[in-house]
């Protein structure tokens, strides 16, 4: 088995504020692989004032999706980085079927398909409460929740523009109309497990680890080493 086939290549699906970012961060540290978030990359482009950032800014603030070709290009470039050769966790990408198809093509060109997709399912009311009370420490990137995971006094907090209620509702609608179609897409490839997103981050994390073991035979055991006993799309 080549090294590429021992890597975890995971897509996290789930509506805005379902916990993809939090879970992705923890899993990435456990497995020693990068978490790749198109939302983070677009926010960085916006903050840097690049052409892409300027274009994405208005779209993101409106709670809409940035055009497929732009995010696909971002992901293509990011997947070419050396750290992504050991595996990766995708958070917020793909969000449409054309993005999922493009991802399959990009990975096929590199000879390394996805081996898991986890769908974090959370009731709408809870998603709204999580997003509107979510805050990020600008210095550490750590995500807090004013009610369930309060920040320390020292944190320098920002509230994402698009986490205001009116925009959250639009983002949830975009999820339902565009991204929910990825559930049958990955089910059809026998790569998907659903996980209940209600609970503490560590409870949800345990469910994800169990699902990953079922799907791939993988256990991180808290170490960066990873063995995949059963492949995914590549081998089906």
Does 18 participate in binding ligand AMP (rule CB under 6 A)? no
Does 95 participate in binding ligand AMP (rule CB under 6 A)? yes
> How far is C-alpha 212 from the geometric centre of its chain's CA atoms?
15
Please identify, using beta-carbon distances, which residue of 161 and 227 lies nearer to ligand AMP.
161
| Nearest CA among 58, 65, 123 for reference residue 92 | 65
How far the first Cα of the chain sits from its last, in Å, is: 16
Per-residue burial over 66-96, b if 16 or more Cβ lie within 10 Å, else e, is bebebbbebbeebbeeeebebbbbbbbbbbb
User: Pattern of binders to ligand AMP over 183-222, x per CB under 6 A?
Assistant: ----------------------------------------
Per-residue burial over 117-141, b if 16 or more Cβ lie within 10 Å, else e, is bbbbebeeeebbbbbbbbbbbeeee
Q: Which of residues 121-180 bind ligand AMP (CB under 6 A)?
A: 162, 171
Given the residues 20, 86, 135, 209, the one annotated as active site = 20
Please identify, using beta-carbon distances, which residue of 3 and 176 lies nearer to ligand AMP.
176
Q: Which of residues 30-49 bind ligand AMP (CB under 6 A)?
A: 38-39, 42
CB 218 within 8 A of CB 227: yes
Does 65 participate in binding ligand AMP (rule CB under 6 A)? yes
Q: Which stretch binds ligand AMP (CB under 6 A): 91-99, 115-123, 217-225, 226-234?
A: 91-99
Given the residues 9, 43, 46, 95, the one annotated as active site = 95
Residue 35 gets the label, from left (phi > 0), alpha (psi -120 to 50) or beta, of: beta
Annotated catalytic sites, by residue?
Answer: 20, 95, 134, 160, 171
Residues at the interface with ligand AMP (CB under 6 A): 16, 38-39, 42, 59-60, 63-66, 71, 92-95, 99, 162, 171
């Amino acid at each position: 088995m080549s090294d590429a086939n021992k890597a975890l290549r995971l897509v996290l699906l789930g509506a805005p504020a379902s916990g993809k970012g939090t879970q992705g961060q923890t899993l990435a540290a456990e497995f020693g692989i990068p978490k790749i978030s198109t939302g983070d990359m677009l926010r960085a482009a916006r903050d840097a004032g690049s052409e892409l950032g300027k274009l994405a800014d208005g779209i993101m603030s409106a709670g809409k999706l940035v055009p497929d070709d732009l995010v696909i290009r971002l992901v293509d470039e990011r997947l070419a980085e050396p750290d992504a050769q050991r595996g990766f966790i995708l958070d917020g990408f793909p969000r449409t079927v054309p993005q999922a198809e493009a991802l399959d093509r990009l990975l096929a060109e590199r000879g390394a398909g996805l081996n898991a997709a986890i769908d974090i399912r959370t009731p709408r009311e809870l998603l709204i409460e999580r997003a509107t009370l979510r805050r990020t420490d600008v210095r550490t990137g750590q995500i807090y929740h004013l009610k369930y995971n309060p920040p320390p006094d020292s944190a320098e907090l920002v509230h994402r523009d698009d986490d205001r209620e009116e925009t959250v509702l639009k983002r949830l609608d975009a999820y339902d109309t565009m991204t929910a179609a990825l559930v049958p897409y990955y089910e059809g490839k026998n790569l998907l497990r659903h996980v209940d997103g209600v609970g503490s981050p560590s409870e949800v994390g345990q469910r994800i680890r169990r699902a990953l073991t079922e799907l791939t035979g993988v256990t991180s055991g808290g170490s960066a080493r990873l063995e995949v006993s059963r492949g995914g799309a590549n081998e089906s």
